[in-house]
Structure 1
Amino acid sequence: MIYDINAWAFSNDAEFPHQDWDLFITDISTAPLLLSLSINPEVANDKRKVFLACLYLLVGDAVGIVKDRTHLEEVRLFVEQASSNQNYYIQQWVFRSFQLIQNPELFDYKKWCDGIDIFSFWKD
């Protein structure tokens, strides 16, 4: 699966390999790769946005859908590790993720799990 993610990230093909591909690739095991691709300047901007949306999906899914404490703790630890990254968009994601993890009642599916459309729901 990691090969598929990298292959698409660095290809000229702008289309998803298949419908719901973002759902398929978003997992705690792929999270470090998704993070690195979301900030890699060699990846096209529109694809970096897809990988960033996958990071939001990772957190939103853990808090608002799966609701498994062990999985949520794994995701929280990943967000904590990512907090040292100085990229502006990652810092926004880290801040928002910690807010959501601490206040799960703030979960909004459209802001966290609706693909690249999520960015239209954030006002900053």
Structure 2
Amino acid sequence: MTYDIREWAFSNDSELPHQDWDLFITTMDTAPLLLSLSVDPKVAKDKRKVFLACLYLLVGDAVGIVKDRTHLEEVRLFVEQASSNRNYYIQQWVSRSFQLIQNPELFDYEKWCTGDSIFENWDD
């Protein structure tokens, strides 16, 4: 699967390979790759937004949908590791993610799980 993700990231194809592809590729196994591709300047900006949206989905899914403590702890540790990344958008995601993890009642499906249109739902 990581090959397919990389292949699309560096291809000229702007369309997602298939509907709900972002849901399919967003796992703890692919999270480090999604993080790196979301900040890679060699990846087209539109595609970086897709990968960043996948990171939001990863957290939103763990907090608001799956609600499995073990999975949530894995996600929290990943967010903690990502906090060393100095990219503005990653720092914003880290901050928002920690806030959500600490306050799961703040979960808003539109802000966390609706693909790259999520960025239209944040006003901070």
Distance 1:115 1:8 in 2: 16
Partner of 2:75: 75
Residues 40-93 of structure 1 deviation map (CA, whole Å, 9 limit, x = unaligned)? 000000000000000000000000000000000000000000000000000000
Distance 1:11 1:123 in 2: 32
Partner of 1:32: 32
Distance 1:123 1:50 in 2: 19
Partner of 1:6: 6
Distance 1:41 1:123 in 2: 25
Distance 1:31 1:105 in 2: 24
Distance 1:29 1:76 in 2: 14
| Pairwise CA RMSD | 0.4
Partner of 2:115: 115
Indicate whether 1:42 and 2:45 are aligned: no
Distance 2:81 2:56 in 1: 15
Partner of 1:100: 100
Aligned amino acid, residue 42 of structure 1: K
Distance 2:16 2:121 in 1: 22
Secondary structure at the counterpart of residue 15 of structure 1: coil
Aligned amino acid, residue 95 of structure 2: F
TM-score, normalized by length of structure 1?
Answer: 0.99
Task: Give the superposition deviation at 1:123.
Answer: 1.2
Q: Number of aligned pairs?
A: 124
Partner of 2:55: 55
TM-score, normalized by length of structure 2?
Answer: 0.99
Distance 1:118 1:71 in 2: 22
Partner of 2:17: 17
Secondary structure at the counterpart of residue 14 of structure 2: coil
Structure 1: gaps (5+ residues):
none
